[in-house]
Structure 1
Amino acid sequence: MSAIRRMHDDEVIPDAAQVATLIADQHPQWSALPVMPVASSGTDNAMFHLGDDLAVRMPRRPGMEELPAREHRWLRALAPQLPVAIPEPLALGAPGHGYPYPWLVLSWLDGENPRVGALQHPFDLARDLGAFTRAMRAIDTADGPPTGASLAERDARVRRDIEALRDEIDADAVTAVWEQALTLPAETAPTWVHSDVAPGNLLLHDGRLHGVIDFSWCGVGDPAIDLQVAWNLLPDEARSALREASGVDEATWLRARARALAQALVQLPYYKTTNIPLATNARHVIAEVLHEAELSPR
């Protein structure tokens, strides 16, 4: 039995012994290293320490099978173009010993995950995040895999989520913000994006951004995707610093707000009992978006 918390009905989580067996069979150069599960808020992968300096990422669910190969293919190409550390991909693994998916060995990065309401240097962190997202957008998009659905493509799901949460949120206000976002210009020049710039994937040293992990869904899409962090992490007074440092236009910024809202509407009911910190953050995002929309009606 794995020590990693279960979150999905259809997930497969290996235990440390299973991971050690896979390592011994496929990458015996690391077979002497201990394997330990890592407590993580991540929802798509189970994480394991492999010794002190390596990590093993194991997809948890169907539909994630191509993600290890994506990271293995792109992380080395992205790394020299980014202002912070990212993991180095070291080896791909194949299914085996009852585990059904490909998996990945990477370098381990140290750092502290930021916590909402407890940031040492929120304005500096906002500018660090802006520099990271700007650097991602500057990378050549040739051959990059597509990622992320448009707001229009998410519309039906968002409306279902709003109705399902009607007893817990101000559904009419949320609907108004969402419908306003649907009138925004769509992105016409997709860029490289990380796709999950969230507290659990950010690593800080002394309150400043040191590293970014989990590029599972990286690819070419709407640059607004990476700016959702403005609402899922930053206090309202620091958001303008992120917007300025990122250099995006108003439509992109407002699409980012709508994307943060849409993601929170999914996370709140789904993770209410299985990932309480993530559900709590989702409730925080909804409140922040509504508060900001009320102060700055458009």
Structure 2
Amino acid sequence: MVLHENEVAVDDTVVRTLLREQRPEWADLPLSAAGAGKENVMYRLGDELVVRLPRTVDTARSVQKEQEWLPRLAPLLAYSVPEPVYAGTPTSTFPLVWSVYRWIDGELVGAGSVRDWARLGADLAGFVRELHSIDLMGSTRTGDLSWYRGGYLPELEWVSSCFDECRTTLGSQLDVETLEQLWRAALALPEPCGHTCGSTVTSDPANC
């Protein structure tokens, strides 16, 4: 499914070509589509690896940040996070940076795989809380580190403008009405503890 007007096309042939050019020892391993999100497309490579390719020039900006920070965060988290194995470089076939990670076994979240949605929500919230509690290791929440991710929801005004674009681009492929309702409901929720306002992190319970 194409999600962006400026999306870089990718398929099995593109991935095979990248591997032959940069990691020929992996080029003949079994390859299969392994899912896609708004910003990346993934292919499982053999039994132990996954190739992750950004969809656009803008989303490719986060690749270097992932490769740098995932190894730092991994020892501090209770759950497994992707382990970078290779940092791919742009080519004439695929003009963006890309990555290879260790494969993490699991199941897609859905009605057939989740027996207790409340427990899943609590586990996810616990992981996010754990992630937010990690020291910034001398870095700051400005510039390319924070990019557009995270922050106080009402400050993310650009999100509201995306729903009409999704209706035009995706049509009936995505339930945009439900997504917009969830977003509006999230905006109406009370301010959380530890939220980020500009460059200041508020964690005082008296301010919650």
Cα 1:84/1:280, change in 2 over 3 Å: farther
Of residues 163, 167, 176, the one that matches 1:279 is 176
CA drift at 1:22: 0.9
Pairing 1:100–2:104 present: no
Please give the residue correspondences for 1:82-97 in structure 2 after superposition, counting only pairs within 5 Å: 82-97=77-92
Of residues 18, 24, 27, the one that matches 1:22 is 18
Pairing 1:54–2:54 present: no
CA deviation profile, 1:198-250 (whole Å, cap 9, x unmatched): xxxxxxxxxxxxxxxxxxxxxxx64xxxxxxxxxxxxxxxxxxxxxxxxxxxx
* Contact 1:23–1:31 (8 Å) recurs in 2: yes
CA drift at 1:129: 1.9
What TM-score do you get using the length of structure 2 for normalisation?
A: 0.73
How far apart, CA to CA, are the structure 2 residues paired with 1:277 and 1:63? 22
CA drift at 1:64: 2.8
Say what the alpha-carbon RMSD is for the aligned residues: 3.0
What TM-score do you get using the length of structure 1 for normalisation?
A: 0.53
Cα 1:259/1:112, change in 2 over 3 Å: farther
5+ residue gaps, structure 1, are: 150-194, 196-220, 223-254, 294-298
5+ residue gaps, structure 2, are: 191-208
Cα 1:10/1:93, change in 2 over 3 Å: same
How far apart, CA to CA, are the structure 2 residues paired with 1:80 and 1:278? 37
How far apart, CA to CA, are the structure 1 residues paired with 2:74 and 2:26? 24
Pairing 1:43–2:38 present: yes
CA deviation profile, 1:152-179 (whole Å, cap 9, x unmatched): xxxxxxxxxxxxxxxxxxxxxxxxxxxx
Of residues 258, 262, 270, the one that matches 2:165 is 270
Q: Which has the higher helix share?
A: 1
Amino acid across the alignment from 1:61: T
CA deviation profile, 1:91-149 (whole Å, cap 9, x unmatched): 01111142110110011223233349x95323322321222122112222123653155
* Contact 2:18–2:93 (8 Å) recurs in 1: no
* Contact 1:22–1:97 (8 Å) recurs in 2: no
Give the share of equivalent positions with the same residue, in percent.
Answer: 28
Cα 1:261/1:69, change in 2 over 3 Å: closer
Query: What's 2:121 paired with?
Result: 126
Amino acid across the alignment from 2:3: M
How far apart, CA to CA, are the structure 1 residues paired with 2:158 and 2:117? 24
